Copies of this chain bind each other. A is one copy, B any other.
Amino acid sequence: MTETKTDPRILRTRKIIMDSFIKLSGKKEFKDITIKDITTEAMINRATFYYHFEDIYDLLEKALSEVLLINLNTNLYQNSELNEDTIIRLFQAITNFQLTLSNRCHRGYEDTIARIIREQIEVIIFNLLVKQFPGEEKKAHKVTASMLSWGIYGASVEWRRNNNSTSPEEYIKLAIPYIIYGIN
Interface positions of A (Cβ within 8 A of B): 8, 12, 43-45
Residue of B nearest to A44 (CB): B8
Q: How many angstroms from the CA of A70 to the CA of B12 in the assembled complex?
A: 26
Which chain B residues border A45 with CB–CB below 8 Å? 8
The 4 closest A-B pairs by CB, nearest first: A8-B43, A12-B43, A8-B44, A8-B45
Residue of B nearest to A11 (CB): B43
Which chain B residues border A43 with CB–CB below 8 Å? 8, 12
A125 CB to closest chain B CB, in angstroms?
A: 33
Q: How many angstroms from the CA of A12 to the CA of B12 in the assembled complex?
A: 11
Residue of B nearest to A8 (CB): B43
A15 CB to closest chain B CB, in angstroms?
A: 10
Which chain B residues border A8 with CB–CB below 8 Å? 43-45
Which chain B residues border A44 with CB–CB below 8 Å? 8
- Chosen A-B contacts, 4 in total, with CB atoms closer than 8 Å, are A8-B43, A8-B44, A8-B45, A12-B43
